[in-house]
Amino acid sequence: MVLVFLFWAAVYKTGSACAAFLANNDDTSDANVTFNGNSYDLPAWSVSILPDCRNVVLNTAKISSVSTISSFTTEPLKEEIGSSDDSCSGWSWISEPVGISKADSFSKFGLLEQVNTTGDRSDYLWYSLSIDLDAGTQTVLHIESLGHALHAFINGKLAGSGTGNKVKVDIPVTLVAGKNTIDLLSLTVGLKNYGAFFDTAGAGITGPVILKSLANGSSLDLSSQNWTYQIGLKGEDLGPSSGSSGQWNSQSTLPTNQTLIWYKTNFASPSGSDPVAINLTGMGKGEAWVNGQSIGRYWPTNASPNDGCTDSCNYRGAYQASKCLKNCGKPSQTLYHVPRSWLQPESNTLVLFEEIGGNPEQITFATKQIASVCSHVSESHPPHVDLWNSDAESGRTVGPVLLLECPYPNQMISSIKFASFGTPQGTCGNFKHGNCSSNKALSVVQKGCIGSSSCRIELSINTFGDPCKGVAKSLAVEASCA
Ligand SMILES: *[C@@H]1O[C@H](CO)[C@@H](O)[C@H](O)[C@H]1NC(C)=O
Ligand SMILES: *[C@@H]1O[C@H](CO)[C@@H](O)[C@H](O)[C@H]1NC(C)=O
Ligand SMILES: *[C@@H]1O[C@H](CO)[C@@H](O)[C@H](O)[C@H]1NC(C)=O
Ligand SMILES: *[C@@H]1O[C@H](CO)[C@@H](O)[C@H](O)[C@H]1NC(C)=O
Ligand SMILES: *[C@@H]1O[C@H](CO)[C@@H](O)[C@H](O)[C@H]1NC(C)=O
Ligand SMILES: *[C@@H]1O[C@H](CO)[C@@H](O)[C@H](O)[C@H]1NC(C)=O
Ligand SMILES: *[C@@H]1O[C@H](CO)[C@@H](O)[C@H](O)[C@H]1NC(C)=O
């Protein structure tokens, strides 16, 4: 016989103090368990918390699902107020040199692990090597890296890139007779901070790095050669992220689709008080700063796979990375929030470091308007009658509670666009009454919420009545804040 621990109680006691966690590990069946002489409903795949070993204050399947409907207004990047030059694009730029350009570079035989080498001073590490060949050739450069992205430049020109953890790339390259420069830019995009041995995972081009076949047919392993290293970019040292360096170029046509380039512009803050984001669609991969503050790394050209998304999503059961996927085929982020407190009304500086090629003239502002806030609390199981009695003596919970809250300070709930207690269907913005609904729902929610910045409504048949006995009910609300 196999024993599967579907239900468990973890009890913590000291003196007369007692707290307990009751769990149902079954991913489909709801359960009714007895604990210390009381019975408790445990929906599938949930945990109840009993801070006094008697009263449930939270069950993880009964929390509110809260969402908002927001819309974005697109505005062009406005030139700073008082800008004299309307003829130029407003953008200036500096090219970041390919390969070694800083005085603090150093040489070492072999390939270095990146995290230990940069000591977190920069995302970027250059690996550079010169080789002399008897004859020119077209061949393949094989590179193995622990991640997270690399760009390979041969004689100053981008030959290919690779991304991922434990990446192996084969890049076709053309080499000339005589001296050839191989410059590999390796970069991290944030380091893992969880999991077993995460700190020893490492990053960077740890090899091998091999030229697969030369003119004479032999391959050349470059892994143990005398590589020259540079931690960080020249521009990071000069401080263009603050926009202060004096070498910005703005005279000729703005270069677009260009690797390793810094861009800068000055802009006026969008008017109004709605939250501001910068829409970096059109850029390739890099980092952005507003008034010297980093607003994040961007990579809008890196889209997720097109498949794997489904309309239905069941949170129950063990987590897998492929579960409940949304936004298939889209990049993970295109909008970068800029707190209004970082912005001056008339003049601000936006600096971008672009690695692979983009067009900064496509950058726009997106200001965010919140049309609705919604909350939906469901009972996932047929409740037994005690759950619905707010009888303090019984030591059991009352029904779950719906929480509704305006997103910004100084706002109040101004109207209830939808409220249904029973079997409402749909999602925020598209809620519909089901075939079971209490006719008191709208007035109960209006009374409890309008004029407050937040409100709590208990799902109780004492207030809503019971529109369909024995059926699992839920409360769905859509409201406006002003
Ligand atoms: C092939 O050419 C490379 C580079 O020119 C040289 O280092 C290597 O010794 C040559 N191999 C043979 C077998 O001649
Ligand atoms: C960094 O160096 C330390 C000390 O030499 C070593 O223990 C650690 O494994 C290295 N980390 C990585 C990621 O290689
Ligand atoms: C390694 O390369 C650097 C830069 O080219 C050079 O200065 C140094 O002398 C070389 N080291 C050896 C041991 O060859
Ligand atoms: C950018 O440049 C690359 C390489 O030169 C080229 O393949 C690509 O089509 C260009 N993209 C755009 C949008 O111009
Ligand atoms: C961001 O810009 C792209 C391209 O201009 C546009 O398609 C997209 O709708 C914008 N996103 C938002 C939220 O405004
Ligand atoms: C849960 O158990 C109690 C006590 O045994 C019982 O009265 C009640 O009907 C049960 N509820 C469900 C939903 O099975
Ligand atoms: C209510 O709708 C559900 C499905 O949405 C259906 O199973 C049920 O039979 C309906 N009940 C009534 C009374 O129509």
User: 33 with 11, same domain?
Assistant: yes
What is the number of other CB atoms lying within 10 angstroms of the CB of residue 290?
20
Q: Whose atoms come closest to the Cα of 139: which ligand?
A: 1
Pocket of ligand 1 (CB under 6 A): 133-134, 214, 216, 218
Task: Please report the pLDDT score of residue 439 as a whole number.
Answer: 94
Q: Does residue 108 contact residue 131 with C-beta atoms inside 8 Å?
A: no
User: 218 with 249, same domain?
Assistant: no
User: 377 with 443, same domain?
Assistant: yes
Query: d(Cα 278, Cα 295) in Å, to the nearest integer?
Result: 9
The dihedral of CA 386, 390, 391, 397: what is its sign? positive
Q: What is the pLDDT along the chain (482 residues), one digit of tens a residue?
A: 444 568 889 999 999 999 999 999 998 888 888 898 898 888 889 999 999 999 988 888 876 678 889 999 999 988 776 555 543 458 999 999 999 999 999 999 999 999 999 998 899 999 999 999 988 889 999 999 998 999 999 999 999 999 988 899 999 999 999 999 999 999 999 888 888 888 888 999 998 999 998 778 889 999 999 999 999 998 887 765 555 556 788 877 899 999 999 999 999 999 988 999 999 999 999 999 999 899 999 999 999 999 989 877 788 888 888 888 888 999 989 999 999 999 999 899 999 999 999 999 999 999 999 889 999 987 644 333 332 333 333 444 456 788 899 988 889 999 999 999 999 988 899 999 999 999 999 999 999 999 999 999 988 888 999 999 888 788 999 999 99
Which residue has a Cα nearest atom 11 of ligand 4? 257
Measure 239 CA to ligand 2 centroid, in angstroms.
30
- Please state whether the peptide bond connecting residue 148 to the residue before it is cis, i.e. omega within 30 degrees of 0: yes
Residue 10 in 3-state DSSP?
Answer: strand
Q: Whose atoms come closest to the Cα of 128: which ligand?
A: 3
Pocket of ligand 2 (CB under 6 A): 113, 115-116, 200, 202
Which residue has a Cα nearest atom 9 of ligand 6? 384
CATH number at residue 172: 2.60.120.260
Task: Please report the pLDDT score of residue 240 as a whole number.
Answer: 55
- In 409-442, which positions are buried (b, 16+ CB within 10 angstroms) versus exposed (e)? eebebeebebbbbbbbeeebeebebbebbbeebb
User: 380 with 467, same domain?
Assistant: yes
User: 72 with 38, same domain?
Assistant: no
Which residue has a Cα nearest atom 11 of ligand 6? 384
**Residue in the block written with tokens 């468990």:** 8
Helix (H) / strand (E) element for 106: namely strand 106-109
Which residue has a Cα nearest atom 5 of ligand 2? 116
CATH number at residue 346: 2.60.120
User: 214 with 286, same domain?
Assistant: no
> Per the structure block, which two tokens stand in for 148?
């997270």
Q: Which residue among 330, 362, 394 closes a domain?
A: 362
Q: Does residue 125 contact residue 238 with C-beta atoms inside 8 Å?
A: no
Query: d(Cα 220, Cα 214) in Å, to the nearest integer?
Result: 8
Number of domains in the chain: 4
Atom in ligand 2 nearest the alpha carbon of residue 203: 13
Task: Please report the pLDDT score of residue 270 as a whole number.
Answer: 93
User: 478 with 390, same domain?
Assistant: yes
Measure 142 CA to ligand 3 centroid, in angstroms.
23
Q: Which domain holds residue 454?
A: 62-77+364-482
Measure 216 CA to ligand 1 centroid, in angstroms.
6
User: 140 with 162, same domain?
Assistant: yes
Structural domain includes residue 101? no
- Distances in Å between the Cα of 134 and the Cα atoms of 49, 176, 306 are 74, 9, 47
Query: d(Cα 62, Cα 46) in Å, to the nearest integer?
Result: 9
User: 32 with 113, same domain?
Assistant: no
Query: d(Cα 432, Cα 439) in Å, to the nearest integer?
Result: 14
User: 176 with 207, same domain?
Assistant: yes
> Per the structure block, which two tokens stand in for 135?
């004859």
